[in-house]
Amino acid sequence: MRRRNVALDYTFSEWCPAAGHTQAQLLHWMQPMSTSDPTADTIAAISTPPGRGGIGIVRLSGPHAASIAAQLIRLRHPLEPGRARLAEVLDDSDGEAERIDEAVVTYFAAPHSYTAEDVVEIAAHGSPVVLDLLLRRALDRGARLAEPGEFTQRAFLSGRLDLTQAEAVRDLIDAQTLTQARQAARQLGGALSRRVAPAKQELVELIALLEAGIDFAEDDVDVTPQQEIARRITLLQSPLAALEASFARGRIVHDGLTLAIVGRPNAGKSSLFNRLVERDRAIVTATPGTTRDLVTERISLEGIPLELVDTAGLREGQEEAEQLGIARSREALADAALVLVVLDATQPLNEEEHRLLETVQGRPALVALNKSDLLGGGEQPADVQGVAALATSALTGDGIAALRDRLVALATGGAAAEPGMLTNLRQHQAVLAALAGLKDAMDANASGIPHEMILLDLYRALWALDSLTGQTTPDDILNLIFSTFCIGK
């Protein structure tokens, strides 16, 4: 199911109140509407995670949610919108209704619910047996098992949420750091939609202006000059370019990164690893080559999820176990998004370290000159073999705070946190497509191409912004997005 392109409605209503032929001209820009109604039935699912807990919730949504729920429980007082009711959960598998549990039942009447439909939530004790009984009985009485993300999909289709907000629901559920949760909450509150809205409104007004010049050319409506078109497009490009740039930080806050800690044996890799995770996670001894396998730990640096990988020291190992560990270290080095090369500041570079530094040149990498406390405070180089460096001491903790800051800057490329950031590839591609449409429109305008052709590029940009929020998103993309949700959400 697709929703109408509101920009086209705006263009027609503002400029062509009585010109039916103009509406016909615009119809070919509109996406076909689905004739089926996926919300005609009532869906049900267990909305709490699998397993046992103090509370488990069975959720129903649809036109018959209340009537089906009433057959599963014995209410002490009738259901009333917005009020919780105490009820008894019934088991009639033996032909006679028998009380098996107590539950709190909440009824949300349409359109004042999450899905904008009638919704009933039955909060019983979190026994899988009881929840499964409730769900099976609901299905026997006419409900259908909800598909993954179908509750949120119905909220989207009803206009309760736009697509960026719907994606934020999934992100909030999946959040592993407080920063991720805050970002998802802002998106759920419409931060990204509000950031896109002014640019989209200006684009709509430009389209309307050009359409009016074409449709009413015989009625002394002035044709918009090239300079004015160029000025308006430039004003549109600036905020969208800033929005596109936000993907650099938004993506890593959303997805996180992997950092491989590599270097020669006994350079202090495991000690720095423990400093960054703030506990003794890796074994540290004075014997070189203690780490034989990869040791991983997930941390949060300024809200950015970072998976640290402590690797075996790179050298020509003599034992089979050490050789396998070194092979895995090289694989981790190749796969990591960030690399922290740990050097012993008291030792000259060996051939293996020279090769390692050549390998990481051009990649997001940083050198930690460890054991700097043994040098007596001498000046440290700002880079080593072209790779940025800083002095650290895993023993005293000197330089660790600076190391964290440098790792954050390396991960984000210096991009600052801001509200309404792009957080996934689909959103990024939509903004890139809008910018490409505006660039083509700018080039066409500069070449003196007729406004009808410029409008093609402007409409392409508009469709891209519409796809960002879901107003013209194809069904297959919607199905792919919501299939990544958990069942019951």
Which pLDDT score, from 0 to 100, does residue 11 have?
32
Under DSSP, is residue 361 helix (H, G, I), strand (E, B) or coil? coil
Residue-averaged pLDDT of the chain = 81
Short-list 336, 302, 333, CA closest to 404: 302
Question: 43-147 adopts what CATH topology?
Answer: Gyrase A; domain 2 (3.30.1360)
Return per-residue pLDDT of the chain as tens, 489 residues: 333 333 334 333 333 332 333 333 333 333 333 334 555 799 999 999 888 889 999 999 999 999 999 999 998 888 999 899 999 998 877 767 788 899 999 999 999 999 999 999 999 999 999 999 999 999 999 999 999 989 999 999 888 998 899 899 989 988 888 888 888 999 999 999 999 999 999 998 898 888 877 765 554 545 788 899 999 999 999 999 999 999 988 888 888 888 888 888 888 888 888 888 876 655 444 445 555 567 888 888 887 888 888 887 776 656 666 667 677 878 888 888 888 888 888 888 888 888 888 888 888 888 889 888 887 666 778 888 888 889 888 888 888 898 888 888 888 877 777 788 899 999 999 999 999 999 999 999 999 888 889 999 999 999 999 988 887 666 766 777 787 778 877
pLDDT at 38: 53
The structure tokens 């390998």 sit at 359
Q: Which residue has the tokens 């000159």?
A: 369
Q: Give the phi and the psi of residue 387 in degrees, each rounded to 5.
A: -110, 130
The 3-state DSSP composition of the chain as helix, strand, coil percent (nearest 5) reads: 45, 20, 35
Amino acid identity, position 28 = H
- Cα separation of 474 and 194, whole Å? 22
Q: Which of 156, 41, 134 is nearest to 88 (CA)?
A: 134
- In contact, 334 and 309? CB cutoff 8 Å: no
Output the six-digit token pair for 323.
């050789």
CA 48 to centroid of chain Cα atoms: 22
CATH level 3 topology of 6-31+165-246+423-470 = Four Helix Bundle (Hemerythrin (Met), subunit A) (1.20.120)
**Maximum pairwise Cα distance, the chain:** 89
| Inter-axis angle of helices 191-215 and 163-174, nearest 10 | 160
Task: In whole angstroms, give the CA distance from residue 475 to residue 482.
Answer: 11
Instruction: Report whether CATH 3.30.9.10 matches the domain 262-412.
Output: no
Task: Compute φ and ψ for 27, nearest 5 degrees.
Answer: -60, -30
CA 136 to chain centre: 34
Q: Tens digits of per-residue pLDDT, 444-473?
A: 999 988 888 999 999 999 999 998 888 766
Q: Which amino acid is at 478?
A: L
- Per domain, the residue ranges of the chain are 6-31+165-246+423-470, 43-147, 262-412
- pLDDT at site 191: 93
Is it true that 6-31+165-246+423-470 and 262-412 share their CATH fold? no
pLDDT in the model for residue 321: 61
Q: Both tokens of residue 435?
A: 């910018």
